[in-house]
Amino acid sequence: MLQQVNEGLVNPLDAVVRSDIQSLKDTKKNFERHSDQSDGALDRYLWKKPGKDMKEEMSIVESAQEVATSRREFHLQSLNYAQVLNDFHFGKRFEMLEHVLTLMYAQSWFFRQGHELYKDMEPVMRELSSQLEVLQKARIEDRAQDQTTATEEKRKLDRVHPDQTRCEEIVLANGQRTKVGYLFKKGSGKVRQVWNRRWFSIKGDYLLYSTRGETEPPTVAANLRLCTVRTCDPNAERRFCFEVISPVKSYVLQAENEHDMAAWIEVLQAAISNALNSEHSADHLSKGVGVKEKLDEDFIEADLMVAEARKAANAEKLELINKIKQLPGNQACCDCGAPSMSLLTSNY
């Protein structure tokens, strides 16, 4: 009995752990490697600047071809990784069920004393066998459909170009526009400037970003009610750059192409306008935007500083008006002598 259990169930499980799962891990590493290569090729392409001679123009064309090739390889690896996962989840499931059924049949013959018990289980075992055949036939049909879909996706990948943006623009139920997608963010180092690729999104009155693969909530980059956005100098070190300026910190961001940069600037300006016209105040910041634990205290402090500055300016104006009214000769109108004045005149 122990030998049958080892041959029918333990050994197949051990083979899955030693071979199939290890192969799945290798496929995942290959997928992540092509993902990093695609990001690196895109980074090198965005460093290129249009030149005056043919050599520099050819360098940009070659870099664009490199980006298209790396993206095509990345998507091919994505399809391969997804196919391997599907084969593992569905194929091994049926295979292990078949091993279990084989073991059950072997035990039904081995345990003659338990013949009556297994006789009652024979209808269930037959039903499982018939269901297994149906599932295997369905899996073969699904695999053929997956291969057809993969072929169509490969044909689409042949037409991929670096200027095709992957950022997504969304229109909310209230009519406001928002946007999500990858941007390169310039680091704050003074000696060595590092550009990191981050996932940016606009949520409510805030610009958020996060790192790919992280499970932590996104980081608040800026409170849009206190920000302005502008394009960077076209002669700067990198193309397609724009800047988000806030009282606390400014961010220099780079899109993948000019169309994407213009779309980000337009959506950010619309979000800033909506934030300024909204009734939100510093008292509402505690409600958060889904990332309460990541709200930067500097943004709350900046809101309070703006509110205090406005109150101080209004108080200073009222004090100045009262001082002018108390000056000799300002108790009545200089033209008609009326005691109630609503106008103020001054000489040069």
Judge whether 40 lies within some domain. Answer: yes
Looking at residue 256, the DSSP 8-state letter turns out to be S
Looking at residue 90, the DSSP 8-state letter turns out to be I
The reply to whether 153 and 172 lie within a common domain is no
101, 134, 157 - which closes a domain: 157
The reply to whether 172 and 146 lie within a common domain is no
CATH number for the domain that contains residue 198: 2.30.29.30
Say if CB 202 and CB 179 are below 8 A apart.
Answer: yes
Q: What's the pLDDT score for residue 279?
A: 58
Q: What's the pLDDT score for residue 242?
A: 94
271, 297, 323 - which closes a domain: 297
Amino acid at 135: L
The reply to whether 290 and 214 lie within a common domain is yes
Q: pLDDT per position in the chain (348 positions), as tens?
A: 666 666 667 777 777 777 777 888 888 888 888 888 888 888 888 887 776 677 777 888 888 888 888 888 888 888 888 888 887 777 677 777 777 787 777 777 777 667 777 778 888 888 889 999 999 999 999 888 888 888 887 877 666 555 554 555 565 545 677 888 899 999 877 767 789 999 898 888 889 988 875 566 788 888 888 899 999 988 878 889 999 998 888 899 999 888 999 999 999 999 888 888 875 544 444 444 444 444 445 455 555 555 666 677 778 888 887 888 778 777 777 777 777 666 666 553
Judge whether 143 lies within some domain. Answer: yes
Q: What's the pLDDT score for residue 59?
A: 82
Q: What's the pLDDT score for residue 252?
A: 92
Reduced to 3 states (helix: H, G, I; strand: E, B; else coil), residue 316 is helix
Judge whether 61 lies within some domain. Answer: yes
Phi and psi at residue 54, to the nearest 5°: -65, -30
Nearest-angstrom CA–CA distance, 116 and 308: 87
The reply to whether 139 and 180 lie within a common domain is no
Instruction: Quote the tokens at residue 126.
Output: 């037959």
Say if CB 242 and CB 175 are below 8 A apart.
Answer: no
260, 280, 297 - which closes a domain: 297
The reply to whether 99 and 232 lie within a common domain is no
The reply to whether 131 and 207 lie within a common domain is no
Looking at residue 51, the DSSP 8-state letter turns out to be -
Instruction: Quote the tokens at residue 203.
Output: 């949520």
- Name all contacts of 186-191 with Cβ < 8 Å and 24+ positions apart: 186/241, 186/251, 186/252, 186/253, 186/254, 188/249
Q: Which residues contact 24 (CB under 8 A, 6 or more apart)?
A: 84, 85, 88
Q: What's the pLDDT score for residue 283?
A: 42
Print the domain residue range for 97: 2-157
Say if CB 195 and CB 43 are below 8 A apart.
Answer: yes
The reply to whether 100 and 9 lie within a common domain is yes
End-to-end alpha carbon distance in the chain? 113
Judge whether 330 lies within some domain. Answer: no
The reply to whether 126 and 207 lie within a common domain is no
Q: What's the pLDDT score for residue 204?
A: 81
Judge whether 311 lies within some domain. Answer: no
Q: 254: closest CA among 189, 186, 201?
A: 186
Nearest-angstrom CA–CA distance, 180 and 35: 19
Q: 204: closest CA among 184, 224, 180?
A: 224
Q: Cα dist. 315→246, 321, 326 in Å?
A: 26, 10, 17
Pairing between β-strand 228-231 and β-strand 195-203 as defined by DSSP bridges: unpaired
Domain count, the chain: 2
Say if CB 299 and CB 280 are below 8 A apart.
Answer: no
